Amino acid sequence: MKLANRLALITGGGRGIGRAIAFAFASEGASIAVAARTRAQVENVAEEVACEFGVETLAIECDVADAASVTRAFAHTSEQFGGGPDILVNNAGIAETAPFAKTDEAMWQRHLEVNLTGTFRCTRAALPAMLERGWGRVINIASIAGKTGAPYISAYSASKHGVLGLTRSLALEVGAGGITVNAICPGYVDTEMTSRGIENIVAKTGKSADDALAVLKRSSPQNRLVTAEEVAALALLLASEEGRGINGQAINVDGGTVLF
């Protein structure tokens, strides 16, 4: 078992990519703490994972945009498992679209607070225990929007570019301590977030849902959406001993949409 005796804390763990990562890690023996704002969702995931794989799980209601909520989440994790996570997956995030002229300061701050500062807060909370034990994995779920721009996503893209800067700088800082810090940059993934994006395209353009989906698929040379399980497979590699030589990287899972 690649992750036996490891504890993983996954933010945004109630659905989509976070849920898929929880299942992938548990299948390799990791104990799982799943955190998200919606308690019912993380409770369902924790119960499903425990029933299917027999590992210890914990469901935590946590808003990464709230510093006190993050502090409580990590305290709760340490209380149940006797220490902080060996593996942190910063997956919680939001994505809203608007022309730049209509991107007000509140929308801008929401993206920075959740996508970037939330990643900062959780990583700061997890690192001391990782440094003390001389082993750790931080996996940030970014986006290909963190490498390139696109119309109508200036706040989202800026926040994800920030995640990549944090990833690279921290990887250099803690690499000698047995810790790796990497980012995964998915393209369009077949999740609820993409479904909401399709709804926005329909509302703003009058296209049918099928036509809107076709547009998103055509952004990839493979003409398809990525699956959450494909993202989870890469996260598993980065979390394992086999991935210990990968550090400070931002790896695309997008079918070849962005080639850097």
Catalytic residues: 156
Distance between CA atoms of residues 89 and 134, nearest Å? 18
- Amino acid (1-letter code) at residue 82: G
Distance between CA atoms of residues 185 and 142, nearest Å? 5
- Amino acid (1-letter code) at residue 157: S
Distance between CA atoms of residues 157 and 218, nearest Å? 20
In terms of Cα–Cα distance, which of 158, 234, 156 is closest to 197?
156
The strands making up 136-141's β-sheet, listed across from edge to edge, are 57-61, 31-36, 7-11, 87-90, 136-141, 179-186, 250-253
Q: Quick one: DSSP state of residue 79?
A: H
CB contact at 8 A, 250 and 146: yes
Q: Quick one: DSSP state of residue 225?
A: P
Distance between CA atoms of residues 146 and 250, nearest Å? 9
